[in-house]
Amino acid sequence: MIERRDRLDAVAIVLLAACCATWGLNQVAVKVANAGFPPLLQCGLRSIGAGLLLFAWTRLRGTPLFDRDGTLWPGLLAGLLFASEFALIYWALQYTPASRGVLFVYAAPFFVVLGLHWLEPAERIGRWQTIGMVCAFGGLIAAFADGIALPQGREVLGDLLLLLAAALWGATTVVIRASRLASVGAAKVLFYQLAVSAVLMPLASWAVGEPRIANPSRVEWASFVFQIVIVAFVSYLVWFWLISRYPATRLSAFSFLTPLFGVIFGAWLLGEPLTPLLGLALALVALGLWLVNRKRAT
């Protein structure tokens, strides 16, 4: 039986901070690797590689992955949402800078709060959480204004795709917490998602006629391997372990750190601009997520 806690402790906070830094850097890694690996195929190959690592790890630990426990259908649904989310992320980052990308992807906590408000009584939001939602969405509006002001619409398209990906990420978390997946180990939850995306992403790549892998450079290979080992295997396993033990709304709200890391890495490694409007958007999102996490709803 998995022991659940009603608040974040020091272990959870440290692990969340590490995950947020990893995911912020991942947005840059995806954009770099896109130069050598077609986006959808890259996503599928990443899932295949991480899935093999996960399978080997569970075999060494003796963790069962294929026992019948009533999680097949919610697991497949979570996998479909997961695959769709990352297809949109990989596609969108061809149109919008990585530093902006993390901002829209991490609108996901808002969708988590909304979904669990109806499905999990213990995670219902109250007055301060509602104020936080309004504040954070104000940050998104500020970020959209920056995209709309640009002379080309490519960035706006990328932002919209990333916002939809955020909704799918939020839905994935809600499905996991509100179904029998909440009672199984993190490894099996992750395996469902990697397995589904490992099948669907290469098929999607073929269906849209993506080009073949274009002789990646060492930096592009390093970015791709980083996504497999550190992001898709290690950080996601940690994330699903946290979801199974701590309140999902508090976990999701804490991820406001990720856009901050993403902006820092995007500016440092890719030379992307740090505009005042984007800074305002990040500040509003951070304040909003802090208010959401401020106290439990009564």
For residue 151 the two structure tokens come to 């002379």
Return the pLDDT at 298. 46
Question: Residue 30's pLDDT is what?
Answer: 85
Reading the block at residue 246, the tokens are 């701590």
| CB 213, CB 36: distance < 8 Å | yes
CA distance 30 to 39: 8
Distance from C-alpha of 290 to C-alpha of 15, rounded to nearest angstrom = 18
- Domain ranges, ordered by start, for the chain: 10-292
CA distance 170 to 161: 14
Radius of gyration for the alpha carbons in the chain, expressed in angstroms and rounded: 18
pLDDT averaged over 10-residue windows placed end to end, the chain, 298 residues:
72 89 87 88 94 96 88 94 86 73 77 80 74 78 62 73 91 90 90 95 90 89 96 95 86 77 79 74 79 62
Q: Which pTM value belongs to this model?
A: 0.83
* Residue 8 backbone zone (phi > 0: left; psi -120 to 50: alpha; other: beta): beta
According to the model, what pLDDT value does residue 55 have?
Answer: 96
CB atoms within 10 A of CB 144: 18
